[in-house]
Structures are given as structure tokens and as C-alpha cells.
Amino acid sequence: MSSVEVLDIASEKYDKKAFSISEYVKQHFGMFSGNTVKAKLSFDESLVSVVLDYFGSDIIMIDSGNGKFTVSVDVTDSNVFLGWMFQFGKLAEILEPVSLRKSMKGLVKTMGDIYK
């Protein structure tokens, strides 16, 4: 960081006792902010360890058949999250909410247009 300065503006108030840095990091991919949404995600079973590594062992994984499982987690609607999902190709899919699916569709279209 450069050109840092102290301002006379009060910081955002939050409950220090209720704040969990590990939960914050799980939701904010790459520390990018955005709207936090409850997402239902589908993954190929080959990604179990990757999903557990990122979201933690306290998530509930539901077997959806055909070698896939789903999780419901809070994530930030950001290009960093979408990029994280995109890296898995057809082994991962955003199921809900529709707004997050639309964000992914828009990113895929934009990237497709660049690489025509």
C-alpha cells in the first residue's frame, strides 16, 4: 500500500466478539468484497478435498448421485469467486442463486468474446 493516510471518519462498527476471521476469509475470495450470498454449489467427488480445504470440515456435503455432491455456503459475488469456480471446468457448477449463475454466465461470455 502507498499513500496511506489517517482520516477523521469513524470506522464501520462490528461486534468484535462475534466476528470470525476464518468465516470472513471463506466468504471473501482473495479478500475481494462484494455482496455475500448463500450459494448452492455442485462438485465432482474428485474435488472433496479441495472443497473441504477451502470451506472447512464443518460444511455439510450432500451426495447428489452420479459422482457429485452439493454444498450450501456463503460466498461473495465477485469475479475472484467466479474464477475459483471456473478453474474446475465442468467438475463444478453454481446451482443457486440465479443471480450468481447469471454472474458466471456473464463472465464466461465476456471471456469467450475476448478469445474468439
Long-range contacts of 31-37 (CB under 8 A, 24+ apart): 32/76, 32/78, 32/79, 32/80, 32/81, 33/76, 33/78, 34/76, 34/77, 34/78, 34/81, 35/76, 35/77, 36/74, 36/75, 36/76, 36/77, 37/74, 37/75, 37/76, 37/77, 37/97, 37/99, 37/100
Q: Give pLDDT, residue 26.
A: 52
pTM assigned to the model: 0.71
In the structure, how many helices (H) and strands (E) does the chain have?
4, 4
Q: Give pLDDT, residue 103.
A: 94
Q: Give pLDDT, residue 23.
A: 61
Q: Give pLDDT, residue 31.
A: 47
Strands (E), the chain: 36-44, 62-65, 68-76, 92-96
Q: Would you call the peptide bond into 97 cis, given omega within 30 degrees of 0 as the criterion?
A: yes
What are the structural domains, with CATH classification, of the chain? Answer: 37-114 (3.30.70)
Weakly modelled stretches of the chain, pLDDT under 50? 27-28, 31-32
